[in-house]
Chain A
């Protein structure tokens, strides 16, 4: 469980937690980086990569005017950046993330850990990393993009101090983040995506439309993936307070089917939009999750 510091101050426990998270993130990322040949972080590079049609919102500085002169159409010149990229982490801190038995499988804990690890990786290769929280209660819910050495500590402090709460709209946060991003960025979303998918997908589509790269870490607990409940219970949505009385044995199959359809919808959407979809169940270790992600990222970069 995240630290629920009601005074919004950095208590010793919070500081200790931040230190542990930082250490854990570094350990996890270092372990992953060991043996890797190159960074697979993708971004805008000074080396020409390809053209793509102009879309509203694109920075006109990236229009290839030569191509315009030749073809009469506007193309954005994509380049392989030689220096660090701008990455933006969106962490879902809605109440639904405060779920999962034990520290290791709590969705918010896993979200903070994965976000910290990714931030560490990005910062280590010199990228500027920013952060925004979707929902939740936190003294600070947003961090500017920086590549400084203290940025990791800053991001982890924000994550550690945050407490999942409320019914946040990930779609709104993604839209807001898109507006804030000054240049094409690498947007990494950590969420359970448990809200109506259409607005989220619309926001992601807009992000991608602006040339941003995106990755979604879909964090679910075993209770959500397996629905292992045995006895009839009153299931309450922590965000809305709505509830359903159900016999798990009677609805398990239908639920699993609905979840499968839900995740399949996101997978298919992400595939269409060239967004990395990473299944991040809390039952898996964070290293395993990150490794699988980086491997798949590497394979895509290799293509």
Chain B
């Protein structure tokens, strides 16, 4: 038995009133003189015996009447048991929570989970009787007012509902529904949750249950996440992040998941969970997304992006490190005339780079400048991290030599080919040390038949690995009519992309002291290629610039696992390191535990608190690493409860779970309305009246 208004049970205290009156009146019996007391004495023992039970009977009847009234006010109900008592008939109140988050778009046998959920909701409405009360709530819509409760209008609302982009907290929604239904006077109260019940949607913990709380029926529409070989292929971090700047960290998932399959992606920065989102796998079984973060004042952050889903292994994650850098200073070397000429590739190059690096662009961490070809010299180049040279024919020998020095000193140079073969060959000599030979391509007449497409591409190369699927696909559709051909690639150079005839499209040479040069074997003019019109054009150039300028710092980054710091031995070379907490400034001493292996451990042996750290070389104060202490432990500890465990926490609410595929076997949704229960307040009022009548006309009549 439960009480819908249990607070009224405190009123049972008034049951003590008849008892108090009884005891009080016993002491206040009316005194009557009676001379024949000697004749009454013989029956006194009996009188006192019979007096007490009768008065007790009266008192008990009155107490029972009061208790019945109070109990009736408390609205007692017996759930699941229909009693043939007058006034005990009851109704069922059902609140349907329809999950319309994007994950419900996942399809099963050609039907989306949301369509399944809507069909289930319509069934509930259809089988409800006139006495029952059915209401609907869409998880992704903030309640702005009561939805229609008329069955026809409700069914219409269900049919018209659609998914919406949100990440609902079903735990919060359920708690809100439970609270609102506590005041509902129906005997049977149920909340039906139609959802794929992904774990990330239960953030708020269940409320402390009360006896009058509704039952919760979880209808699990999930068909399981069927995906193999899922991995986080790439995490793209800002090129030149700065402290306090909001930036995006983007990821790309690769796998063979069914299109529309939903999984959760979480992002941790240091030891904090900074984001969580639900993503749907595209037609290729891939998915991509971005998290927006703001880099802390320390300018350093190390984190992890992890994919989670029912049935997925726990270790689908990838680490990333962000370290603040000043903005990349990028120069576009092109003549003003070419940048104004729509027939020139420089026209598109300039506008594309300016849009990407300007306000609202995706590469705001890049500071773009222009430099005329005849102005290229060592002094001018010293102001930049990288340059993009459009048509090197404009460079004079002095400028070309300065560019070679710039690359040798760690700068990055990206060059497009010129229609002048000699100019291209001069580039090969100056920047590639004759490691490549460039010749005029035979048959380069501009005819349609001469156009080439993109051939083999090293998708793992940093220039391409960060590209999204669509952008990469756009690049693959690019057509070229190159004037020159790179004839040979020796070990000093590499070709991450080739034309469809197998000749190199992009040639890269890393410089000894860092930096490097990338040569595009196309002149970018609209007559020669549609590359400048492709969405991949600017991203590839910027990724190439990032690749060339990042290479010099890549070896500095490492992680600490548990209590061990693994630092590159050649970079460390010290028996002892000072490790600095970038947030608190605290310093810790790490000693090398494997001579020459670059493995260090805290001297104290105590684990360091989670956070970002930098290892300082004892000799030259070289920043060696930025890392997170115990990220794996934290990551594992942060795992949400498995769904079964989560549902167990709702067990106190008599929550039960139905799987969509088992509807037929569970008599869904008939079960929802089958247990009518009994409302006992009217029977109790009748009972109370009965007690009073017995007391008045039977007991007191004697």
Q: A95 — which chain B residues lie within 8 A by C-beta?
A: 35
CB distance from B18 to the nearest CB of A (A): 16
A244 pairs with B40, CB closer than 8 A? yes
Q: Which residue of A lies closest to B29 (CB)?
A: A234
Report B42 CB to chain A, min CB distance, Å: 5
* Residue B54, interface by CB 8 Å: yes
Q: How far is the CB of A230 from chain B (nearest CB, A)?
A: 10
- Which of A204-212, A253-261, A288-296 lies on the face that meets chain B? A253-261
What chain B residues lie within 8 Å of A220 (beta carbons)?
36
- CB of B48 within 8 A of CB of A246, answer yes
- A194 and B55 form a contact (CB under 8 A): no
Q: Who on chain B is nearest to A235 by CB?
A: B34
Q: Nearest chain-B residue to A256 (Cβ)?
A: B39
Interface check A242, CB cutoff 8 A: yes
Contact among B26, B35, B38, B51 with A246 in the assembled complex (CB-CB below 8 Å): B51
Which of these, B37, B39, B51, contacts A232 with CB under 8 Å?
B51
Q: Write out the residue numbers on chain B whose beta carbons fall within 8 Å of the beta carbon of A249.
A: 54, 702
Tell yes or no: A99 within 8 A of B by CB.
Answer: yes
Q: A274 on the interface (CB 8 Å rule)?
A: no
Interface residues of A in 224-243 (CB under 8 A from B): 224, 229, 231-240, 242-243
Contact flag A236-B31 (CB < 8 Å), given A247-B50, A254-B46? yes
Cβ of B33 under 8 Å from chain A: yes
Asked whether A247 lies within 8 Å of B30 as measured between CB atoms, the reply is no
Q: Decide yes or no whether B7 CB sits under 8 A from chain A.
A: no
Cα A97 to Cα B41 with chains together (Å): 19
A22 at the binding interface (Cβ < 8 Å): no
Taking a contact as CB atoms closer than 8 A, the residue among A107, A231, A235, A262 that contacts B37 in the complex is A235
Q: How far is the CB of A264 from chain B (nearest CB, A)?
A: 12
CA–CA, A19 and B35, complex, Å: 29
Number of residues from A at the complex interface, CB < 8 A = 37
In the bound assembly, the distance between CA atoms of A247 and B51 in angstroms comes to 5
* A253 to chain B: closest residue by CB: B43
Is B32 close to A, CB under 8 A?
Answer: yes
Choose from B31, B35, B38, B46 the contact partner of A243 (Cβ within 8 Å).
Answer: B31
A217 to B652, CA, bound (A): 84
A182 to B475 Cα, complex, angstroms: 158
A237 touches B47 (CB 8 A): no
B43 in contact with A237 (CB, 8 Å): no
Q: A233-B29, A244-B44, A245-B29 are in contact. Are A259 and B36 (CB under 8 A)?
A: yes
Contacts of B29 in A (CB 8 A): 232-234, 245
Q: Are B46 and A251 in contact (CB under 8 A)?
A: yes
Q: A251-B47, A251-B50 are in contact. Are A194 and B30 (CB under 8 A)?
A: no
Contact at B41–A250, with CB atoms within 8 Å? no
Which has the most chain A C-beta neighbours within 10 Å: B35, B37, B42, B702? B35
Q: Are B44 and A246 touching (Cβ within 8 A)?
A: yes
Q: Are B51 and A238 in contact (CB under 8 A)?
A: no
Cβ of A232: which chain B residues have Cβ within 8 Å of it?
A: 29, 51, 55
Nearest Cβ distance between residue B473 and chain A, in whole angstroms?
Answer: 101
Q: From A99, A194, A246, A249, name the one whose CB has the most chain B CB atoms within 10 angstroms.
A: A246
Shortest distance from the beta carbon of B118 to any chain A beta carbon, whole Å = 72
Complex Cα distance, B36 from A235, in Å, reads 9
Query: Across the interface, which residues of A come within 8 angstroms of B30, CB to CB?
Result: 231, 233-234
A-B pairs with beta carbons under 8 Å apart, 28 shown: A99-B33, A99-B34, A223-B34, A224-B34, A229-B32, A231-B30, A233-B31, A236-B33, A236-B37, A237-B35, A238-B35, A243-B31, A243-B37, A244-B37, A244-B41, A245-B26, A245-B47, A245-B48, A246-B40, A246-B43, A246-B44, A250-B46, A250-B50, A254-B47, A258-B39, A258-B40, A258-B42, A262-B39
The 6 A-B pairs of least Cβ separation, nearest first, read A96-B35, A254-B43, A250-B50, A246-B47, A237-B37, A235-B34
Which residues of B are in contact with A by a Cβ distance under 8 Å?
26, 29-44, 46-48, 50-51, 54-55, 702
A231-B30, A250-B46, A250-B51 are known; give 11 further A-B pairs, CB within 8 A. A229-B32, A232-B51, A235-B33, A237-B38, A244-B47, A245-B29, A245-B47, A247-B51, A251-B40, A251-B44, A254-B43
